[in-house]
Amino acid sequence: MLHARTTAIRLRRYVNGTSAIIIAGIATYSSASLAGGPSGHLVGKLTTMAAPSTSLLHRVRSQGIAVLVNDQPITNYEIEQRQRYLGLGAADIQKKAQTKFKSLIQSKSTTTRLRAILGEIIQENRGKSKEEILKIFEQRKKAYAKSLQKRAVASARKSIMPGLRKKALDELIEERLKIHEAKRLNVVASKEEVDKIIAGIARRNKMDMKKFNKHMRSMGASVSTMRSRFNAMISWRNVIRRQFGHQIAITNRDLDREVAQTDGDDKTELNVQRITLLFAQNLGQTQLARRLQEASTLRAKFTGCTMTGSLARQAGAARFSNLGPTEASKIPEPTRTMLINASDGEMLPPSVGSGGVELLVLCGRKTVEANKTKRDAATQELRQRELQVLAKRHLNDLRRDAHIEYR
């Protein structure tokens, strides 16, 4: 009995003297979990959120239709569910949850509860050593930390819900328009396509569909909301490809510029010619202006790469150079960008070099085979950008022409 009492006194002293360490331990244990929030496509870890009560769902369902989009209804229940779904990936949810969690672990009630837990453990495990009791306490402390984490996340999600209503409603309106257009063109996504995407998300979260459905419900969202969203996304992609895919034309000039901007070590070769109007090192401003005017006159006469040499011979004190194929990455800026943006057979405006006034001519370009992968990626990137612009414009047109009635 004395041993148990002595152990209890020592443990209480241990708690009283190390409250900060205990609290820090909880914070360390849970910080990683709070940092593992889901991405926009829910491919990461999924953070837990309390599910709405049955009575709440019943009240939401009873609220009825909020908006009609071309006679297609959007209910308040759908808006509520979309809000919850968007809340899963809200950008500021992690910061809010961490702030709330910090306030919870630093509160007096947390310290009081930890002491109470320790007291309960001591009473339930009389006769056990200090080390054994502390091991049990560590387990209970982790469980308590999890409960605080859930409270923090639930509080953070609740705080952002009102601000997500407009975004949720806008999304649902646009989805109605997208699906309506997809039906008109007969390109609505198949059930199999949508199922495959959702199954992939569940698999990346190491769940089968049954567990994934249950997990989504535990967070207050539903797989049906996710399904509607992906159905609209895939259907809209099909619409844009059908309507505008044939209009996209990516030129070599576009590709050269894109590769040069994304990777300075590109392998595009430029076939360059140069006319240099020579001048002395101590040339004055008047003489320099005269040479620049001569260069502009030559440029006005230029009609193609076959005459570059003859033009140089017509000018006084001029030199023609056929630089041949040159890697774009080895040409200094801003000349490189100007040549990449030039059309084949184009002479650039005159510029002053170290030995004279220069006229550069682009006489062709070639892509080295080793760079084919990069150019293919650049082609896809440029094509996607063009389609995004056309998709946004088309959606704006559909929304402008739609009949949208707010109830």
Q: Categorize the per-residue pLDDT at 292 as very low, low, confident or very high, splitting at 50, 70 and 90.
A: confident
CB 219 within 8 A of CB 51: yes
In the chain, which segments carry CATH 3.10.50.40?
252-370
Q: Using the predicted structure, report yes or no on whether residue 89 has a pLDDT greater than 80.
A: no
Q: Using the predicted structure, report yes or no on whether residue 316 has a pLDDT greater than 90.
A: no
Residue 1, Cβ neighbours under 10 Å: how many? 7
Which residues are bridge partners to 347 per DSSP? 361
**252-370 classified as CATH 3.10.50.40:** yes
Q: What percent of the chain has pLDDT over 70?
A: 80
E strands, 109-216, are none
Placement of tokens 């409270």 in the chain: 151
CB 205 within 8 A of CB 212: yes
Q: Using the predicted structure, report yes or no on whether residue 172 has a pLDDT greater than 90.
A: yes
Distance, CA of 378 to CA of 373 (rounded, Å): 9
Could you read off the pLDDT of 7-54 as tens digits, one per residue? 444 444 444 443 343 344 444 434 434 433 333 333 334 444 444 455
Kindly report the CA angle at 277 between 275 and 279, in degrees rounded to 5?
150
Placement of tokens 């257009």 in the chain: 181
Q: Using the predicted structure, report yes or no on whether residue 91 has a pLDDT greater than 80.
A: no
Tell whether omega for the bond before 334 is within 30 degrees of 0, i.e. cis: yes
**What is the H or E stretch that residue 326 is in?**
strand 318-327
CB 85 within 8 A of CB 226: yes
CB 234 within 8 A of CB 189: yes
Share the mean pLDDT of the chain.
79
Q: Using the predicted structure, report yes or no on whether residue 402 has a pLDDT greater than 70.
A: yes
Could you read off the pLDDT of 216-264 as tens digits, one per residue? 888 778 899 999 999 999 999 999 988 888 888 887 777 777 776 665 4
Q: Using the predicted structure, report yes or no on whether residue 55 has a pLDDT greater than 60.
A: no
Contacting residues for 38 by C-beta, under 8 A, at least 6 apart: 44, 45, 46, 47, 88, 89
Q: What is the pLDDT of residue 361?
A: 93
DSSP calls for 167-180: HHHHHHHHHHHHHH
Could you read off the pLDDT of 132-150 as tens digits, one per residue? 888 898 999 888 888 888 8
Task: Give backbone dihedrals phi and psi of 216, rounded to 5 degrees, phi first.
Answer: -60, -40
Task: Please give the structure tokens belonging to residue 196.
Answer: 């495959």
